[in-house]
Structure 1
Amino acid sequence: MTNSIIEKSPLFELRADIGISATPEQVYAVVSDLPRSAEWSPECKGGEWVSGEPSTVGAIFRGENLRAEEVVAWAPLIRGTWYTEARITAAEPGRTFRWMMLTHAREDQESIWGFDIAADGAGSVLTHHFRMGKATAGIHKIVADLDEAGREKFIIEWGAKLEQDLAVTLGLIKNIIEKQ
């Protein structure tokens, strides 16, 4: 795959922001509670902490995920339920919460999700971000049998799906927090 779009780094670097009528500490209390992610994530249906002190750096979260058939329907993606593990890499109450996706052997991948929170008047601005430096083993598996045009199409469509997921997630989190 020399000179392939899959070799680009970062492969994805996305972010979205939303204003929330709550303090940074109130926002952090929600977004750092990953078992609640079923309330706001388009794919993660919750999960459990499998090692470490929950929501602290080094803790590992096992997420249960569900992907519908229509998501980038032409691509050879995992459909239905599957599981992932992630290690918390930053946990600063009221400021930032980040996690790195792990391989099945619990090795780090360059796939990092997170939230940053900033005070904004009487409320906060919540930023949700995703960065994939090098393509993960999963991405390589998805595109293995695609020609370069297919790989480019997948990366474009997957990037658009991820951007939509970030925005949907933020909207749902805002609703949850502001209705508390």
Structure 2
Amino acid sequence: MEWTGARYADGPTVEVSTWIAAPPERVWALVSDVTRMPEMSEELQSVRWVDGATSPVVGARFVGRNRHEAFGEWETTSTVVACEPCRLFTWAVGDPDEPSAVWRFVLTPGNGGTELSQWMRMGPGRSGLSFAIDAMPEKEQKIVFVRLREFERGMTAALECIRQWAQA
């Protein structure tokens, strides 16, 4: 695990990685199926492709419905901003030019399997976290740190699910 940044405006990031004893094609089939992501997440409740999209290609959009104890329930629309099958899948949450977050999977073949990394960056656009920071600006660094740790735990759990499924 690696994370950087202390303030929301700094674009704090978190990244986790795992090695999977399966070829990139098998791992790709799992990470590129956004409709399965809720099976790996406590927070993400459902995902559906919109505008006729059925798979990740640059410009395709999907809607995710989320639930969090502190933030309630909400939906976001994400846009695929980079897609190289079996290598890279990146999406921006909200406005792709000013996203509230950017998420990325990177697949690297090696050692007879696949190194899978998941990375995310908060901001620069506003998100639900922005309202908590607005209400308690003196606690911004703690708010950001706690959310990064939540993302780290969720991403670690998601990669473990993907690893188990790919190796099954």
TM-score (norm 1): 0.81
**Aligned structure 1 segments of 4 or more residues deviating by more than 3 angstroms:** 5-8
The CA distance in 2 between the partners of 1:7 and 1:87, in whole Å, is: 21
The CA distance in 1 between the partners of 2:80 and 2:36, in whole Å, is: 16
CA contact (8 A) 2:98 2:125 kept: no
Q: Residue 13 of structure 1: CA displacement? A: 1.2
Equivalence for 1:176 = 165
Equivalence for 2:147 = 158
Q: Residue 66 of structure 1: CA displacement? A: 2.1
Check if 1:32 corresponds to 2:32: yes
Q: Residue 131 of structure 1: CA displacement? A: 1.2
User: Looking at CA atoms only, which structure, 1 or 2, has the larger radius of gyration?
Assistant: 1
Distance 1:168 1:7, change over 3 A: closer
Q: Note the residue ranges of structure 2 that are not aligned, 5 or more in a row.
A: 1-5
The CA distance in 2 between the partners of 1:94 and 1:47, in whole Å, is: 21
1:71-118 CA deviation, whole Å, 9 max, x = no partner? xxxxxx422x32111000111111000100015xx8641510010000
Equivalence for 1:143 = 133
CA contact (8 A) 1:42 1:168 kept: no
Identity of aligned residues (%): 27
1:45-83 CA deviation, whole Å, 9 max, x = no partner? 23111125321110010012122x3xxxxxxx422x321
Distance 1:48 1:127, change over 3 A: same
Check if 1:9 corresponds to 2:10: yes
The CA distance in 1 between the partners of 2:105 and 2:137, in whole Å, is: 35
Equivalence for 1:84 = 76
Equivalence for 2:3 = none
CA contact (8 A) 2:8 2:144 kept: no
Equivalence for 1:57 = 58
Equivalence for 1:48 = 48
The CA distance in 1 between the partners of 2:8 and 2:62, in whole Å, is: 28
Say which SS state the counterpart of residue 99 (structure 2) adopts.
strand
TM-score (norm 2): 0.87
Check if 1:94 corresponds to 2:86: yes
Say which SS state the counterpart of residue 102 (structure 2) adopts.
strand
The CA distance in 1 between the partners of 2:44 and 2:15, in whole Å, is: 18
The CA distance in 2 between the partners of 1:7 and 1:37, in whole Å, is: 25
Distance 1:7 1:95, change over 3 A: closer
The CA distance in 1 between the partners of 2:9 and 2:115, in whole Å, is: 30
Say which SS state the counterpart of residue 37 (structure 1) adopts.
helix
